[in-house]
Copies of this chain bind each other. A is one copy, B any other.
């Protein structure tokens, strides 16, 4: 068990840039602007943040958001010890103080009281009020807030408030172009060009099914998992069924259509 990551990643995390996202991130960091990453599941948002943390030589603190994440989980709380209560600092507070990159993954899943805590950190004030201990923490000049979400995944009840959205510079992500995705599958899936090419071709065919009822299209992550199984000796069609098709849907008709595409690709 290691202490919570307070140093920058020591090794450069593998990342293939696909536009000006590195430059914009660097300038936002220099100008103290918060960043919002928009894009589908498994397209590389988390990896990009790790890469930037390494590039900017800043520690990275990642928080997965969900319905039950409270403001206290971010900021801190009092714990009862054998000498009365003591203040236990939360991960956001530590990031603000140490000048880390704080990455809130899937921020739309968070409750409003979590999100609103970010507001005074994302305008000219750059402060974090610690109401419970009656102090105001001024953010380190190196502190960088990054949030992410998937705009393609339909939610009925949840959305970021406009007054929150306007506090961020937004970077749009999508799956990489074919050749770059093939390179990634080869590198991460430890497979050969032919297999990676076939998997990416299949992915493009499957992604075209989104309009026919697929809740979410297969991510690069799924292609990598499939490649790994094939490399392990599992037959390509069995690996595709287990690692690519079955995770995507429980609908018998959709699954049959996707299996046909698998058979078409790996005759």
- Whether B163 pairs with A2 at a CB distance below 8 angstroms is no
* Distance A9 CA – B132 CA, assembled complex (angstroms): 22
- Whether A20 pairs with B234 at a CB distance below 8 angstroms is yes
**Count of chain A residues near B, Cβ 8 A:** 103
The residue that A68 contacts in the complex, of B2, B30, B113, with Cβ under 8 A, is B113
Q: Footprint of B on A, CB under 8 Å?
A: 1-5, 20, 23-24, 27-28, 30-31, 33, 36, 38, 41-42, 46-47, 62-71, 73, 78-85, 88-91, 94, 97, 105-106, 109, 111-113, 115-117, 119-120, 123-124, 129-132, 134-138, 150-151, 153, 161-163, 165-172, 188, 215-216, 218-219, 221-222, 225, 228-229, 232-235, 238-239, 241-243, 246-248, 250
Contacts of A79 in B (CB 8 A): 78, 85
* Further pairs besides A91-B131, A94-B134, A124-B188: 6, Cβ < 8 Å: A4-B135, A27-B229, A64-B117, A88-B134, A169-B229, A170-B246
- Whether A4 pairs with B136 at a CB distance below 8 angstroms is yes
- Whether B218 pairs with A166 at a CB distance below 8 angstroms is yes
Q: How far is the CB of A117 from chain B (nearest CB, A)?
A: 7
Q: How far is the CB of A25 from chain B (nearest CB, A)?
A: 10
The residue that A247 contacts in the complex, of B169, B216, B221, B225, with Cβ under 8 A, is B169
Q: How far is the CB of A96 from chain B (nearest CB, A)?
A: 10
Contacts A83-B82, A135-B4, A169-B242 given; indicate if A116 touches B65 (C-beta within 8 A): yes
Q: How far is the CB of A97 from chain B (nearest CB, A)?
A: 7
